[in-house]
Amino acid sequence: MYKIPLFDLNYDENEIRAVTETISSKWISSGPKCRELEEKFSEALQISYACAVSNCTAALHLALCALGIGKGDEVIVPSLTFVATVNAVKYVGADPVFCDIVSPMDITIDETKFESLITPKTRAVIVMHYAGFACHMQKIMEIARKHHLYIVEDACHAPLSEYQGKKLGTLGDVGCFSFFSNKNISTGEGGMLVTDNPEIDKRVKLMRSHGMTAMSYERSKGHSASYDVAELGFNYRMDDIRASLGIVQLEKLAFDLKKRERIREWYLENLKELDGVWMPFADYHEFSSNYIMPVVLKNADHIRRDAVRELLQKQGIQTSVHYPAVHRFSVYQDLAHGELLNSEYVADCEITFPMYGKLEKSDVMFICNAFRQILEELQ
Ligand X SMILES: *Cc1c(COP(=O)(O)O)cnc(C)c1O
Q: Which of 10, 170, 178, 342 binds ligand X (CB under 6 A)?
A: 178
Q: Could you tell me the smallest distance in angstroms from the CB atom of residue 235 to ligand X?
A: 15
Assess 140 for contact with ligand X (CB under 6 A): no
Total chain residues near ligand X (CB under 6 A): 14
* Span from 38-46, 81-89, 200-208, 294-302 in contact with ligand X (CB under 6 A): 81-89
Q: Which of 4, 127, 128, 168 binds ligand X (CB under 6 A)?
A: 128
* Span from 51-59, 201-209, 257-265, 364-372 in contact with ligand X (CB under 6 A): 51-59
Assess 249 for contact with ligand X (CB under 6 A): no
Largest distance between two CA atoms of the chain: 72
Q: Which of 33, 61, 136, 157 binds ligand X (CB under 6 A)?
A: 157
Give whichever of 130 and 150 is closer to ligand X, judged by the CB atom: 130
Sign of CA dihedral 25, 31, 36, 41: positive
Give whichever of 49 and 180 is closer to ligand X, judged by the CB atom: 180
Assess 82 for contact with ligand X (CB under 6 A): yes
- Altogether, the residues listed in the chain come to a count of 379
Q: Could you tell me the smallest distance in angstroms from the CB atom of residue 192 to ligand X?
A: 10
Q: Which of 55, 195, 270, 289 binds ligand X (CB under 6 A)?
A: 55
Give whichever of 69 and 292 is closer to ligand X, judged by the CB atom: 292
Q: Could you tell me the smallest distance in angstroms from the CB atom of residue 89 to ligand X?
A: 12
* Span from 6-14, 50-58, 70-78, 269-277 in contact with ligand X (CB under 6 A): 50-58
Q: Which of 81, 161, 290, 319 binds ligand X (CB under 6 A)?
A: 81
Q: Which of 30, 85, 249, 319 binds ligand X (CB under 6 A)?
A: 85
- On the 0-12 / 13-18 / 19+ scale of CB atoms within 10 A, 323 is buried
Measured distance CA(136)–CA(239) in Å, rounded: 35
Q: Which of 19, 34, 144, 156 binds ligand X (CB under 6 A)?
A: 156
Site map for ligand X, 202-241, x if CB under 6 A?
A: ----------------------------------------
Radius of gyration of the chain (CA): 21
- Cβ 185 vs Cβ 249: under 8 Å: yes
Q: Which of 56, 64, 207, 271 binds ligand X (CB under 6 A)?
A: 56
Measured distance CA(191)–CA(243) in Å, rounded: 10
Assess 180 for contact with ligand X (CB under 6 A): yes
Measured distance CA(46)–CA(103) in Å, rounded: 31
320 to each of 10, 146, 164, 270, 338, how far by Cα in Å? 19, 38, 30, 20, 27
Assess 343 for contact with ligand X (CB under 6 A): no
Measured distance CA(79)–CA(85) in Å, rounded: 9
Assess 184 for contact with ligand X (CB under 6 A): no
DSSP single-letter state for residue 369: H
- Cβ 278 vs Cβ 104: under 8 Å: yes
Assess 154 for contact with ligand X (CB under 6 A): yes
Q: Could you tell me the smallest distance in angstroms from the CB atom of residue 128 to ligand X?
A: 5
Nearest to 238 by CA among 174, 183, 172, 193: 193
Give whichever of 144 and 155 is closer to ligand X, judged by the CB atom: 155
Side chain identity, residue 292: I
Measured distance CA(172)–CA(180) in Å, rounded: 22
Alpha helices by DSSP H, the chain: 13-25, 32-45, 56-66, 83-91, 111-114, 137-146, 198-207, 216-220, 240-271, 302-314, 341-349, 361-377
Positions that interact with ligand X (CB under 6 A): 55-57, 81-82, 84-85, 128, 154, 156-157, 178, 180, 191
